[in-house]
Chain A
Amino acid sequence: MLYREAGDFKTSYRADGQTFPIRLDRWAYYAAIAVAFLIVPFIINDYWASAVFVPFLIYAIAALGLNILTGYAGQVSLGTGGFMAVGAYAVYKLMTAFPEISIVIHILLAGGITAIVGMLFGLPSLRIKGFYLAVATLAAQFFLVWLFNKVPWFYNYSASGQINAPERTILGFAVSGPAASASTKYLVCLVFAFVLAWVARNLTRGTSGRKWMAIRDMDIAAEIIGVNPLAAKLSAFAVSSFFVGIAGALLFSVYLGAAEVGEAFGINKSFLVLFMIIIGGLGSIFGSFAGAAFMVLMPVLLKNLLVGGFGWPTDLAAHIELMIVGALIVFFLIAEPHGLARLWALTKEKLRLWPFPH
């Protein structure tokens, strides 16, 4: 009975344009933020941080990025893994070249560098559409991984070909390297995810978002009403790659600590993030988080169930996980092409009318 907009009148266009128009939604949002910032950091342990929370937040950032490009601007990309690698290697080079500068700056710069690389690979999108573009982004994926593998300058000529994150601190707390604690890692990722989600929301509700969606829904009509298609597509590639680059930088420096490019940023990573936005919901900020949570939690749960519960060998569990992921993708596309976000919206719609649906 509480969940409805009746009586919650908007008296200005500003109020009408807010993110959570329903009061209860707003409260739920504030509560979630409060728990995430004020409670979780104090109770989190290493297992929860490294198995669930940190990867969830990092992948949520990557999913937000890909969702801007694919969900909002309609340009399918299979190059996410490659762009994450750009972020990771950029932050690695910056961290080792300028140790006196804050890692926050490095991570942001890594995002900026990835944005430039993303725009470069986005250039063909003006001429290439649909599948052709999806396949073309594979060029970015394979070329970038090869590049970081073959050019020793990128991994500082290390013998193993790996990159290792040196210890860096923010306000005296270690955020990278072995000394970093679970709660600092979590908090750093949370702040990035929170701010970037807010930026994504702002961009998608305003001028840029409308341009992207216009291009997505009908590119010819968009051009005729005055959207410059190249500018719109390139800006989508840039913003998307910025997010993905930051995700890659965090994944390497805060989460993994050490990375080998083919393993950490291979094509499977591209698909993983793509699946997140399909399952979560294309063109939805909430969906990016929901999809990331789903794809991070599911393997953990399956592993606990199959290996811990049934005592099956881990490799068998891994193969069954592949089958389940694949089947779920197909299932979601058949049942609800708009993903978890739409399911959630439909539930809320029902709730709004409850208990008098007519």
Chain B
Amino acid sequence: MDQMIFAAEIFLNGLMTGVMYALVALGFVLIFKASGVFNYAQGVLALFAALTLVGIQQGQVPFAHMINAVFGTHVEHFGWTVPSVLAIILTGAVMVLLAFLIEKLVLQHLVGQAPIILFMATIGLAYFLEGLGDVMWGANIKNLDVGLPQGISESIEGVTANWFGYGFFIDRLDIWATVIAALLVAALVAFAQYTKQGRAMRAVADDHQAALSVGISLRFIWVMVWSIAGFVALVAGIMWGTKSGVQFSLSLIALKALPVLMLGGFTSIPGAIVGGLIIGVGEKLFEFFIGPMVGGATENWFAYVLALLFLVFRPQGLFGERIIERV
């Protein structure tokens, strides 16, 4: 019985992690659908966004480290701090600018290349952004606080203690993150389904040529989806950064989104959501039940192996379109 209650607590935690995975995965799906690019840099985008946010908030001088090295100066801070909301808006603007630059400097020159070439280009992009983030804002671990509530939720602990005789430990931040992520997911789905830009985006995803012929601007759509991806990355960066500090490992959450995509299918929005939940819950439960027997830390690989095994039996993923081969 105790075991089951623990499992339920872990299930809840897993569900909340899963929503975050789903959010990051959604960033992938949007870009993949609209531009056929499998964006490996999504995680580094989240890291970059979080670094920029902290930097702006605390009034850090960009490239301070490099300026000091070159000119022998000792600049670090401008001496002001920026309110969270303004800092988030400014960071959002930076992400849009970044999207524009990526389209201009990278994607535009790779139109018509094989998907795998584009994929490798985004790996290069990921390296570049990782280095850029460090050079701009410094590589030390930073605390991120935009005023999200943190700490154990006493009310949930109280309620569950009443019900089961055992209080669930659930972080308020996780609850907030889940709510925000769920809202964002809903907003993105609504955007893709019901707005003019969303329809244009889906049209591009279906057929570049046909979309062009009815007067949709590919470049605009690409800048838009990369901006959206940047925005999603910013939200993910805020959540994860608040939770465990802004540091390199933040970029690895995006790697977790990859098996989510494999499970859900690269082109399916519901797939990303369901896949995220399955992996979030699955890896937590696996670690709880099987982890202790094999030495723990199974979260490192569980998602990949699950996705791999799943794909062997269903190569197109949960919701992906069935592939019919022709000659």
Q: Please indicate whether A and B come from the same complex rather than being unrelated chains.
A: yes
Q: Is there an interface contact between A139 and B327, defined as CB atoms closer than 8 Å?
A: no
Closest 4 CB pairs of A and B: A329-B124, A326-B128, A322-B131, A326-B127
Contact partner of A326 among B105, B110, B130, B304, CB < 8 A? Answer: B130
In chain A, what residue has the closest Cβ to B113? A337
Q: Of the listed stretches B5-13, B185-193, B255-263, name the one at the interface; the rest are far from the partner chain.
A: B255-263
What size tier do the contact residues of chain B reach?
35 or more
Cβ–Cβ < 8 Å partners of B179 in chain A: none
- Work out how many contacts link A and B, with CB atoms closer than 8 A: 146
How distant is the Cα of A355 from the Cα of B317 in the complex, in angstroms?
57
Instruction: Please tell me if B148 contacts chain A, counting CB pairs below 8 Å.
Output: no
Contact with A along B130-142 (1 / 0, CB 8 A): 1110110001000
A residues 153-192 touching B (CB-CB < 8 Å): none
Contact with B along A300-343 (1 / 0, CB 8 A): 00000000001111011001111111111110011001000000
Query: In the complex, how many angstroms separate the beta carbon of A117 from the nearest chain B beta carbon?
Result: 14
A residues lining the B interface (CB < 8 Å): 76, 123-124, 127-132, 134-136, 138-139, 142-143, 145-146, 149-151, 220-221, 224, 267, 271, 274-275, 278, 310-313, 315-316, 319-330, 333-334, 337
How distant is the Cα of A320 from the Cα of B296 in the complex, in angstroms?
36
Contact with A along B106-122 (1 / 0, CB 8 A): 10011001011101110
In chain A, what residue has the closest Cβ to B294? A150
How distant is the Cα of A221 from the Cα of B325 in the complex, in angstroms?
11
Contact with A along B279-309 (1 / 0, CB 8 A): 0000000000000001111101100110110
How distant is the Cα of A151 from the Cα of B258 in the complex, in angstroms?
26
Q: Is there an interface contact between A139 and B308, defined as CB atoms closer than 8 Å?
A: yes
In chain A, what residue has the closest Cβ to B136? A319
Cβ–Cβ < 8 Å partners of B70 in chain A: 310, 312
In chain A, what residue has the closest Cβ to B122? A330
Cβ–Cβ < 8 Å partners of B132 in chain A: 323
Q: Is there an interface contact between B304 and A142, defined as CB atoms closer than 8 Å?
A: yes
In chain A, what residue has the closest Cβ to B127? A326
Q: Is there an interface contact between A320 and B311, defined as CB atoms closer than 8 Å?
A: no
How distant is the Cα of A316 from the Cα of B65 in the complex, in angstroms?
7
How distant is the Cα of A4 from the Cα of B105 in the complex, in angstroms?
39
Q: Is there an interface contact between A320 and B123, defined as CB atoms closer than 8 Å?
A: no
Q: Can you report 26 A-B residue pairs in the complex whose CB atoms are below 8 A from each other? A: A124-B312, A128-B312, A131-B119, A132-B266, A132-B311, A135-B261, A135-B304, A135-B307, A139-B308, A142-B300, A143-B301, A146-B297, A220-B327, A274-B120, A312-B69, A319-B131, A319-B139, A323-B127, A323-B131, A325-B131, A326-B124, A326-B125, A326-B128, A330-B121, A333-B110, A333-B117
